[in-house]
């Protein structure tokens, strides 16, 4: 069998001993591909983030197959069993509740484990909220950074927010509706209210919304509103006129460097160069 015929074969029917990473809709069930439906129907079993969510797809398209739970709570237990099944010749599909497995879910862990055992993996691509929001935003999309959900720990969170504030590339974030206002206020502090942004809510669903055009406007839009639904945030990278260094963080960095043994003059010079400021501006923070 030559390479072309092998590729053609692999796009049609599931093979024994292969893990299929299957993209599923992020909202509208009609977005699922015919190829994905064929794989879900014919693999030995389907490992789901939540079997109740996957059953909605299976029921809509009259598919009957064995479903097992595979999520962040049980992945360490389930991975060895999945690897064993693959070695015994079973074909297995991995799906998340929505979108591409491996993006902010344990699909990443199973992929790494299966690869380490030299077992083949084939991706059946589907919808992804990050890319859907990015291409809908009108913000630069040729080069971007995906951060997923920001860390919960405040010190770790501030490190990422500082990186976002200085990054020249578009940044994509996921956030829960309950924490969106907190995130927006943090972005206001780190990036300034004029930074271009789009908040996408309920992508591909009946009440899909795209809210922009800068951080100030988005905060005002959500003021006193009950926020529900899946949230994706797209932030434009920094342009020269956008630069708004966070003086409180620079002051903390200055104190840390002095505590580490640098002179005030040397620490100020270093941080001035790093943040595009005059040395005197940093020096005078103490």
DSSP 200-261: EESTTSTT-EEE-SBHHHHHHHHTTPPP-S-EEEEEPPP-GGG----HHHHHHHHHHHHHTT
Task: Count CA atoms closer than 13 A to 240's CA, side-chain side.
Answer: 0
Beta bridge partners of 124: 22
pLDDT at 240: 65
CATH class of 130-242: alpha beta
**Residue 108 Ramachandran class (φ > 0 left, ψ -120 to 50 alpha, else beta):** alpha
CA 95 to chain centre: 16
For residue 122, the tally of other CB atoms under 10 A from its CB is 16
Q: For 190-194, which contacts have Cβ atoms below 8 Å and span 24 or more sequence positions?
A: 190/161, 190/162, 190/164, 190/165, 190/244, 190/246, 191/164, 191/165, 191/215, 191/235, 191/238, 191/242, 191/244, 192/242, 192/244, 193/219, 194/242
Question: Could you give the CA distance from residue 66 to residue 11 in angstroms, rounded to a whole number?
Answer: 22
Query: Would you say 125 and 24 are in contact if contact means Cβ atoms under 8 Å apart?
Result: no
pLDDT at 211: 97
Tens digits of per-residue pLDDT, 161-218?
989 998 999 999 999 999 999 999 999 999 989 999 999 999 999 999 999 999 999 9
Burial status of residue 151 (CB atoms within 10 A of its CB: 0-12, 13-18, 19 or more): middle
- Hey, where are the domains in the chain? 3-127, 130-242, 247-283
Grouped pLDDT means (10 residues each) for the chain, 286 residues: 48 83 96 96 96 95 96 92 96 95 87 94 96 96 96 92 92 97 95 94 95 95 92 91 70 88 88 82 82
pLDDT at 8: 44
CATH number for the segment(s) 3-127: 3.40.1010.10
DSSP string, 151-196: PSSHHHHHHHHHHHHH-SSEEEEEE-GGGHHHHHHHHHHHH-TTSB
DSSP string, 6-25: HHHHHTTS--TT-EEEE-B-
Q: For 108-114, which contacts have Cβ atoms below 8 Å and span 24 or more sequence positions?
A: 109/75, 109/79, 110/19, 110/47, 110/70, 110/75, 110/79, 110/82, 111/19, 111/21, 113/79, 113/83, 114/19, 114/82, 114/83, 114/86
**Residue 56 Ramachandran class (φ > 0 left, ψ -120 to 50 alpha, else beta):** alpha
Beta-strand pair 67-69/170-175: unpaired
pTM confidence score:
0.79
pLDDT at 253: 87
For residue 32, the tally of other CB atoms under 10 A from its CB is 20
């Amino acid at each position: 069998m030559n390479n072309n015929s092998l590729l053609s074969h692999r796009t049609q029917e599931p093979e024994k001993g292969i893990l299929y990473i299957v993209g599923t809709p992020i909202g509208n069930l009609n977005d699922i591909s015919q190829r994905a439906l064929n794989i879900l129907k014919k693999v030995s079993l389907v490992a789901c983030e939540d079997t109740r969510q996957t059953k909605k797809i299976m029921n809509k398209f009259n598919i009957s197959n064995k479903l097992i739970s595979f999520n962040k709570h049980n992945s360490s237990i389930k991975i060895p069993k999945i690897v064993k099944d693959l070695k015994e010749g079973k074909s297995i599909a991995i799906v998340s509740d929505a979108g591409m497995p491996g993006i902010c879910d344990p699909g990443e862990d199973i992929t790494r484990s299966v690869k380490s055992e030299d077992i083949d993996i084939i991706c059946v691509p589907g919808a992804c909220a990050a890319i859907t929001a990015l291409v809908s935003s009108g913000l630069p999309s040729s080069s971007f950074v995906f951060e997923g959900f920001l860390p919960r720990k405040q010190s770790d969170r501030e490190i990422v927010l500082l990186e976002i504030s200085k990054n020249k590339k578009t940044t994509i974030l996921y956030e829960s509706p309950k924490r969106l206002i907190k995130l927006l206020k943090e972005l206001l502090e780190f990036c300034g209210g004029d930074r271009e942004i789009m908040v996408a809510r309920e992508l591909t669903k009946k009440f899909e919304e795209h809210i922009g055009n800068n951080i100030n406007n988005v905060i005002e839009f959500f003021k006193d509103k009950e926020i529900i639904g899946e949230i994706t945030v797209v932030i434009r990278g920094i342009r020269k006129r956008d630069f708004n260094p966070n003086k409180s963080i620079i002051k903390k960095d200055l104190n840390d460097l002095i505590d580490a043994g640098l002179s005030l003059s040397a620490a100020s010079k270093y941080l001035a160069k790093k943040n595009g400021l005059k040395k005197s501006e940093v020096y005078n923070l103490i």
